[in-house]
A and B are shown apart, each in its own frame.
Chain A
């Protein structure tokens, strides 16, 4: 089955700096890649996603890039703010196979003021 690896497991950045989280996936049939943000005591919330026919997507301060050949995708957060502190999860899905997500292990991001 699909396997998703996520790095780093923890990331500490100074407010205003950029943060980058990287994920690799194993199944070349995966075609949907969402990123979720989880705040303490809450459920994960979708922040951005990308489909396999797109190489990059941006939404304000966050962007995701996808390299299908290398089977990796990354989340970029620019101008980080204290409210960006959370755990971030990447995931991969084969849309024709039951809409099941396989998640990476998560990255705990701490933005220091």
Chain B
């Protein structure tokens, strides 16, 4: 049972390109989250989803788009990547009625 997987694990792209980071979970958890981690800022919430087809903005949503057509997948798209989006991106899940969030291994993104 893989739990949460993120792909790719590492990505280098150029300014202006579209990039999609994938998150897949095998637990059928209702909640899914995207965070970015930058030195000195801890983890900041980008977007979250309470269920399929239900998404909402977090603290730092600008420049990102999400969708959730299936419970198990929660892709994060950078429509036109900028250098300020260089970061480590973590996906997390949580079951209904529980607070505990489980994190994936992360995707390191470098925007040149």
Residue of A nearest to B31 (CB): A99
Q: Mark B44-61, 1 if CB is under 8 A from A, else 0.
A: 110010100000101100
Asked whether A105 lies within 8 Å of B40 as measured between CB atoms, the reply is yes
B103 at the interface (CB under 8 A from A): yes
Asked whether B50 lies within 8 Å of A105 as measured between CB atoms, the reply is no
Q: How large is the interface on B (under 10, 10 to 19, 20 to 34, 35 or more residues)?
A: 20 to 34
Asked whether B42 lies within 8 Å of A98 as measured between CB atoms, the reply is no
Pick from B43, B92, B105: contact of A89, CB below 8 A.
B43
Residue of A43, A89, A102, A105 ringed by the most chain B CB atoms within 10 A: A43
Which residues of the partner chain B approach A105 to less than 8 Å between Cβ atoms?
40-42
Asked whether B90 lies within 8 Å of A100 as measured between CB atoms, the reply is no
In this complex, how many residues of chain A approach chain B with their Cβ under 8 Å: the count is 24
Which residues of the partner chain A approach B90 to less than 8 Å between Cβ atoms?
43-44
Smallest beta-carbon distance A25→chain B, Å: 13
Which residues of the partner chain A approach B35 to less than 8 Å between Cβ atoms?
103
Known A-B contacts A44-B43, A89-B42, A106-B42; the reply to A101 vs B101 at CB < 8 A is yes
Asked whether A95 lies within 8 Å of B99 as measured between CB atoms, the reply is yes
Asked whether B99 lies within 8 Å of A34 as measured between CB atoms, the reply is yes
B residues adjacent to A (C-beta < 8 A): 4, 31, 33, 35, 40-45, 48, 50, 56, 58-59, 90, 92, 94, 99-106
A residues adjacent to B (C-beta < 8 A): 1, 6, 32, 34, 36, 41-46, 49, 89, 93, 95, 98-106
Cβ contacts A to B, 10 pairs, < 8 Å: A6-B42, A32-B99, A43-B105, A44-B43, A44-B90, A49-B99, A95-B99, A100-B33, A105-B40, A106-B42
